[in-house]
A and B are shown apart, each in its own frame.
Chain A
């Protein structure tokens, strides 16, 4: 006898129980705490905060725990939580020039005013599995772990203006003429504005954006990027409080800021120059900051009279497919029952098939007659 899948309630409850059981793993192994995730898996936390559009390391860590390390699921959890919190207003633009720098590099010059700080980076590690970490007492170089945060703060107080002063680079002009878009409150429109695009890209899936950036570098919409500056560190968040007519610091956030410059000789009426791409992300997210900056520049083609030929240059393609929550949702909806549509389609197919068979047998009969 065929039983249809009904009465899902019990099944769902049971499924959730199985999830909790799997999440816990072997009960003889100590349970992972949210603090451990926040402190020791901080790069995963940063990714979840960026794509979840919410700066809250503890909640992001909790989401990672709840989602068993499935970051896209964790991002979704954080996004859903975000819907429940009210918006007070906008902060002032972050003053990234006065960042307390943990890391800062520039690739266009051997050294730059203000200096470069390698800081923490996997860039120059050799990717050899460090079996010492199995025992878990020492860090990669076999050095004892520091008891406290012994790293000295580097107050940089230096903007990325050095590159502007060459006179060959597009100026970075603040534009306060219109309110900043908020794509989490009002929908994206096409043609899009740059603030909309940058917000969309920051929320976009890291893998997708990296692949787009990679495609431009492999010839599908080449845009010649240089990293003029990449910096990572802490900045203060300042809010203007109109009731008391005061600007007040409300906390600090860790961010990564990336400025790229791109050789642009497109239009005859504008001077040949370097134009800019920009990426600003929460936490330490250099791969994504770079991808955002390069794709930002790719999407600015219309401003410079560039032909739109490749995926990375097509704002509708990029912005409509960047969101991991949306993409994951639709892709996985294929697991939902579809038997009503399938039934209807099957009927149609049967009819088409009958017509085809009829035509085929008629043709065969005609051929036999002719022969």
Chain B
């Protein structure tokens, strides 16, 4: 009981991980349900936390509920550890959960991310927490929650298939570069969060558990390890990842997602890895262009 109320121990301003113990328990239950029904969006009671909704509050609440003192946390935004929001979230957890933090994907036990999945394949003992602005993949087609819940219940995903078909008929291509919907374990249609579709295949049979947290929309969903994750497509228009003509200007990687850097006002550009940890690892291993 005292444990639950976090009344023991030294007088601390805030509860461990910021959220109170009951809230964390509620979120853990939602996570367990999410893991049991892969891809299904579990409603949960979102709380106000010191960072604003839309800036990763869902991911933060998931992380706050699963983090412990022995964890090592990595936070990335757009693939990079040094982006301001990532720095802000990392500092938040360093303060309220007193955990070690890292910038290396390999060292982390929890990776919280916005808009990217690390290039380096995640392992069994790692958990990826994704920040999600809109958990409902059908929302761009159907605004009503009542309707979309029914569509999920009956697994009626023809609408999305029609949308893809119309894109191909009209523009010759599927006009979706990120937040490209996936079917999880042949059942639920789910949003991989706004990661570039380049990252979608990494979810397929990943060794790590992936938990998606959408605070503002009050939903948690998950993809357990070794789950089949298929990006929806057509037999004659198979799913394709983004490709680049060039390689990373720092480490020479040809297999990573690249950021375009503007070098000057004349329009000269250069490409470098968006995943800073991957790029640094390759450099320290002696790779270079």
Chain A residues in the interface with B (C-beta under 8 A) = 109-113, 118, 123-124, 126-128, 161-162, 165-166, 217-220, 222, 265, 268, 272
Q: Which residues of A are found within 8 Å of B261, using beta-carbon distances? A: 109-111
The answer to whether A124 touches B87 (Cβ under 8 A) is yes
The answer to whether B264 touches A113 (Cβ under 8 A) is yes
Q: Which residues of B are found within 8 Å of A123, using beta-carbon distances? A: 55, 84-85, 88
Give me 18 A-to-B residue pairs in the complex whose CB atoms sit less than 8 angstroms apart, sorted by A's number.
Answer: A109-B260, A109-B262, A110-B80, A112-B262, A113-B262, A113-B264, A124-B87, A124-B88, A126-B91, A126-B95, A127-B51, A127-B52, A165-B267, A166-B267, A218-B139, A219-B143, A222-B140, A265-B175
Q: Say which residue of B49, B140, B265 sits within 8 Å of A113 (CB atoms).
A: B265
Q: Say which residue of A124, A127, A222 sits within 8 Å of B84 (CB atoms).
A: A124
Q: Which residues of A are found within 8 Å of B262, using beta-carbon distances? A: 109, 111-113, 162
Query: Counting CB contacts under 8 A, is B134 at the interface?
Result: yes
| A-facing residues in B27-82 (Cβ within 8 Å) | 49-52, 55, 78, 80
CB distance from B19 to the nearest CB of A (A): 14
**Binding site secondary structure of chain A:** loop
Query: Counting CB contacts under 8 A, is B234 at the interface?
Result: no
Distance, CA A126 to CA B134, complexed state (A): 23
Distance, CA A110 to CA B260, complexed state (A): 8
A-B pairs, top 6 by smallest CB distance, nearest first, are A127-B50, A124-B88, A165-B267, A126-B50, A219-B139, A219-B143
Contact bitstring B220-247, A, C-beta under 8 A = 1, else 0: 0000000000000000000000000000
Distance, CA A124 to CA B95, complexed state (A): 14
Q: Which residues of A are found within 8 Å of B92, using beta-carbon distances? A: 126
Distance, CA A110 to CA B265, complexed state (A): 15
Q: Which residues of B are found within 8 Å of A109, using beta-carbon distances? A: 259-262
Q: Apart from A127-B49, A272-B171, what are 9 other A-B pairs with CB-CB below 8 Å?
A: A110-B78, A113-B262, A123-B85, A126-B51, A127-B50, A127-B52, A218-B139, A218-B143, A268-B170
The answer to whether A219 touches B140 (Cβ under 8 A) is yes
Assuming the contacts A109-B262, A110-B80, A128-B50, asked whether A218 and B134 have C-beta atoms less than 8 A apart, the reply is: yes
Distance, CA A222 to CA B163, complexed state (A): 15
Distance, CA A272 to CA B78, complexed state (A): 25
The answer to whether A161 touches B265 (Cβ under 8 A) is yes
CB distance from A229 to the nearest CB of B (A): 12
Contact bitstring B252-274, A, C-beta under 8 A = 1, else 0: 00000001111011110000000
Q: Which residue of B lies closest to A122 (CB)?
A: B52
Q: Which residue of A lies closest to B84 (CB)?
A: A124
The answer to whether B50 touches A110 (Cβ under 8 A) is no
Q: Which residues of A are found within 8 Å of B84, using beta-carbon distances? A: 118, 123-124
Distance, CA A126 to CA B143, complexed state (A): 32
Distance, CA A220 to CA B91, complexed state (A): 35
Q: Which residues of A are found within 8 Å of B85, using beta-carbon distances? A: 123-124
Distance, CA A294 to CA B92, complexed state (A): 30
Distance, CA A112 to CA B51, complexed state (A): 26
Distance, CA A166 to CA B140, complexed state (A): 28
CB distance from A113 to the nearest CB of B (A): 5
CB distance from B92 to the nearest CB of A (A): 6
CB distance from A20 to the nearest CB of B (A): 37
CB distance from A163 to the nearest CB of B (A): 9
Q: Which residues of A are found within 8 Å of B88, using beta-carbon distances? A: 123-124, 126
The answer to whether A220 touches B50 (Cβ under 8 A) is no
Distance, CA A113 to CA B261, complexed state (A): 10
Q: Which residues of A are found within 8 Å of B78, using beta-carbon distances? A: 110
Q: Say which residue of B134, B171, B260 sits within 8 Å of A265 (CB atoms).
A: B171
Q: Which residue of A lies closest to B276 (CB)?
A: A110
Q: Among A111, A161, A219, find the residue whose CB has the most chain B CB atoms closer than 10 A.
A: A219
Distance, CA A128 to CA B88, complexed state (A): 13
Distance, CA A112 to CA B88, complexed state (A): 22
| A-facing residues in B113-167 (Cβ within 8 Å) | 133-134, 139-140, 143
Distance, CA A128 to CA B170, complexed state (A): 50
Q: Among A111, A126, A165, A218, find the residue whose CB has the most chain B CB atoms closer than 10 A.
A: A126
Q: Which residue of B lies closest to A220 (CB)?
A: B143
Q: Among A109, A110, A272, find the residue whose CB has the most chain B CB atoms closer than 10 A.
A: A110
Q: Which residue of B lies closest to A107 (CB)?
A: B78
Q: Among B85, B140, B262, B266, find the residue whose CB has the most chain A CB atoms closer than 10 A.
A: B262
Q: Which residues of B are found within 8 Å of A110, using beta-carbon distances? A: 78, 80, 259, 261
Q: Which residues of B are found within 8 Å of A218, using beta-carbon distances? A: 134, 139, 143
CB distance from A277 to the nearest CB of B (A): 18
Distance, CA A162 to CA B268, complexed state (A): 10
Q: Which residues of A are found within 8 Å of B171, using beta-carbon distances? A: 265, 272
Distance, CA A113 to CA B259, complexed state (A): 15
Distance, CA A326 to CA B143, complexed state (A): 30
Assuming the contacts A110-B259, A124-B85, asked whether A162 and B140 have C-beta atoms less than 8 A apart, the reply is: no
